[in-house]
Structure 1
Amino acid sequence: MRIAIVSPGFGYGGSYIVASNVGKELQKNNEVFYLAYKYQANFSGVPDDRLHYFGRNIGPLRQNLNRVGKAFELLMHHEFTPVKYSQRDLQALLSEIDQNKIDVVILNTFLSVTLFAQQLKKLRPNVKVVGWLHEATSYSFGDLTKNYRQSFIGGLKALDRLVCLTEIDLKKMLTINPHSQVIYNPVVLTEHEVSSLSEPIVSFTTRLNIQIKGLDYLMEIANQIKEGWSIRVAGQGRPEQVDDFKRLLEANGDPDKINFVGELVGDDLANHYLNSSIFISTSRTEALPLVLIEAMSFGLPIISFDHNGAKEILANGKFGKLVPIGDVNEMATAINELISSPEEMKKLQQLSLQRYADFKMPVVIKKWQDLLDDLIN
């Protein structure tokens, strides 16, 4: 089977890394091509000879015309139609599909679905098209697509299959496309040790988007946790995001209570988890946060705001503690209660390890291969 994974990029970002990892596993039994249209970077070990950038740069004049066109559409219809402004990318994608004799296109993220799904099914009806959404429905039908909602919904309806990440998302998606299903994003980790739960550290790993990841909550939470304990944040982001977070820490953070260690990878990231005793998530919205599953693989007890992703991973509180989104006092209370109960910490550690098994690559890749085989056969 010849598969094209179409994504804005294959660099930084959870959805890009996941698409790369799933693609590399599918390569073992299929021909897989990686097609990017916004970002050319390759940080995920995708084979260079299979990674093609098909985005077509446009000059300043065309950029300004596009802005005017979108503004006019918004004024007249309260929405614009993204595909009108991506015709060169669409033609380049069609050329890649034809040249590589693609059987199945996997459109990675809501943007790829919006831009390409309807036109692909219209212009290449024999090619099967799968949409892969990593965003919570509350977010994707909210701020993300508010200016082109009907184009997004049209893309969803056109798909031969729609993959989402949680049962909550599935309920919504089934009302739009009856060929929807849940496949978890896998976590790809080598075998490693489990935390001894002996360090007075609450860890947090994140992309440095202050609003989405709830980083503005961290200082108040840190100030309320027990003396001798602190929150350690590992995170990566664009330079301006790093600067924004550093300014937030300087203005509101107590260096004895909260410590930003920057981006960590490899052994440094493993030690970040191993040398902590609790993991928290303060996001306002998440679909299926891989860092939370990653932390569970190290046996860390989990406390999270009750966004959709945490509800799915923790099975509504079966495998960890859920706190109402934005309730910093309740989050601090939950952390302090766990600090005071080594027995409860050990219990949650075992539950974390139990749940982690559901997100291992062999379990996930079988579901993907079954979906693809079903489409073709």
Structure 2
Amino acid sequence: MKNITFFINTLSAAGGTQRVLTSLVNLLVEKYNVTILILDDKQSFFKIKPEVQVKKVVSTKSSIKLFSLIDFNKQVFNELKNSSCDYYISLDSNSVLMQSLFIPRKTKLIIWEHFSLSKNFNNIIFKMSRYYASKRAHKLVLLSQQEVVDWSKIYNIPTKNIALIYNPITIDEKLNFLDIDFYGNKKILAIGNNIHVKGFDYLVRAWGLLDRNDWKLEIVGLSDVEQVKLKDIINQLDIKNEIIVTGRISDIKNKYLEASIYCLCSRMEATPLVLIESQYIGLPAVVFDNCEGPLELLNNSGLIVEFNNINKYANSLSKLIKSRDLYIELSNNARTNSQRFNKDTFFNKWCAVLN
């Protein structure tokens, strides 16, 4: 069996990256020896099969940052060498210099990129790291066709070195939601762990313009600190329509089943897992037009709004709320569209990369 090692800072977060990673390793462990290297020893937020090894990487701290960086890379190198690792998979090109600078000759580096290149950070270290990743990686696994175009163009990467693999549906695909009347739930849902990145400030402002007291908005996934910040924004805007703000949860499926419409207002986004899964349930989406990845996921299954136009976003929500016929049309389209993202396709494409 081939040995595969993943690197991620932590498994204890409740983000989409952690969720899709645990989904992948639980599939791969049937065919490969799988290890995950992490920076902390906190328990994984999502369930991981016991066959998957999880190891904390320990490095000696130095007052000189360069020495600490080199030492940490040596620690990763030793882990890869001792495990006779065939494939080392990093989930972030921004941090490749920090944890993939030294790699054994046998080991092939794969970058599984979870950031959008066009919306990425302009930090000079990150830019250097992305350039290094583009030259060093055996393969880049990207989440959308737009990312393939951007990476190929900017870094002149051959097509054979890039694989397009969409995020998969991680909730139970055997469930049948076709007979459920989600419109009757009268709830709008948004999921994320950062107010600014996910544009929740835009969303609550748009929500405040609606006169639909029988509908509710629920925002899920924020830390305690971020929840307080968002509630302060809501209070400052004196929004009367009900907004429910809740923390992170491991079983996101029930939140989809309680909702009617999914909202995506992100300032930065690659290919959001939450949009894929809400489509599978049959929730029409209202999405800003500034991020190419989410737009690529839609196929007449949502309403697209000019970025930063709060009035138009509110009007689109109102349109979807008031027109049951439009709602049903987009809901059916969402279910059909989501079949592109089934778990079997995801697994088979990864096996093709690793073989």
2:42 and 2:115 map into 1 onto residues whose CA distance is 22
Residues 1:6 and 2:4 aligned together: no
**Change in CA separation of 1:278 and 1:331 when aligned onto 2, cut-off 3 Å:** same
Amino acid at match of 1:126: K
Amino acid at match of 1:203: L
**Change in CA separation of 1:270 and 1:132 when aligned onto 2, cut-off 3 Å:** closer
Structure-2 residue corresponding to 1:16: 18
Structure-1 residue corresponding to 2:212: 227
1:125 and 1:88 map into 2 onto residues whose CA distance is 19
2:325 counterpart SS class? helix
Per-residue Cα deviation, 1:264-302 (whole angstroms, up to 9, x for no partner): 443xx4343223321111111110111111211211111
Aligned ranges 1:269-280 → 2 under 5 Å: 269-280=252-263
Task: Decide which moves more: 250-259 or 302-311.
Answer: 250-259
Residues 1:302 and 2:285 aligned together: yes
Residues 1:349 and 2:308 aligned together: no
Per-residue Cα deviation, 1:113-167 (whole angstroms, up to 9, x for no partner): 23244432xxx22211100101111222x34x44442232112211000011111
**Change in CA separation of 1:276 and 1:14 when aligned onto 2, cut-off 3 Å:** closer
**Structure 1 contact 2–31 (Cα < 8 Å) conserved:** yes
Residues 1:126 and 2:128 aligned together: no
TM-score (norm 2): 0.89
Residues 1:332 and 2:314 aligned together: yes
Q: Give ranges in structure 1 of 5+ residues lacking alignment.
A: 70-83
Structure-2 residue corresponding to 1:77: none
Tell me which protein shows more helix as a share of its residues.
1
2:244 counterpart SS class? strand
**Structure 1 contact 222–230 (Cα < 8 Å) conserved:** no
Per-residue Cα deviation, 1:162-186 (whole angstroms, up to 9, x for no partner): 0111111111111322212211111
TM-score (norm 1): 0.84
Residue 237 (structure 1) shift: 3.5
**Change in CA separation of 1:230 and 1:39 when aligned onto 2, cut-off 3 Å:** farther
Residues 1:137 and 2:117 aligned together: yes
1:119 counterpart SS class? coil
1:114 and 1:95 map into 2 onto residues whose CA distance is 16
**Change in CA separation of 1:265 and 1:32 when aligned onto 2, cut-off 3 Å:** closer
2:40 and 2:117 map into 1 onto residues whose CA distance is 23
Residues 1:166 and 2:144 aligned together: yes
Structure-1 residue corresponding to 2:128: 150
Structure-2 residue corresponding to 1:314: 298
Residue 360 (structure 1) shift: 1.7
**Structure 1 contact 117–156 (Cα < 8 Å) conserved:** no
Alpha carbon RMSD of aligned pairs, Å? 2.2
1:91 counterpart SS class? helix
Equivalent pairs: percent with the same residue?
21
Residues 1:247 and 2:220 aligned together: no
Residue 231 (structure 1) shift: 4.1
1:109 and 1:204 map into 2 onto residues whose CA distance is 24
- Identify which of 191, 194, 201 aligns with 1:205: 191
1:204 counterpart SS class? strand
2:115 counterpart SS class? coil
**Moved runs in structure 1, 4+ residues, more than 6 A?**
none
2:128 and 2:248 map into 1 onto residues whose CA distance is 38
**Change in CA separation of 1:338 and 1:369 when aligned onto 2, cut-off 3 Å:** same
1:234 and 1:242 map into 2 onto residues whose CA distance is 9
* Equivalent residue pairs, number: 343
2:163 and 2:293 map into 1 onto residues whose CA distance is 16
**Structure 1 contact 232–261 (Cα < 8 Å) conserved:** no
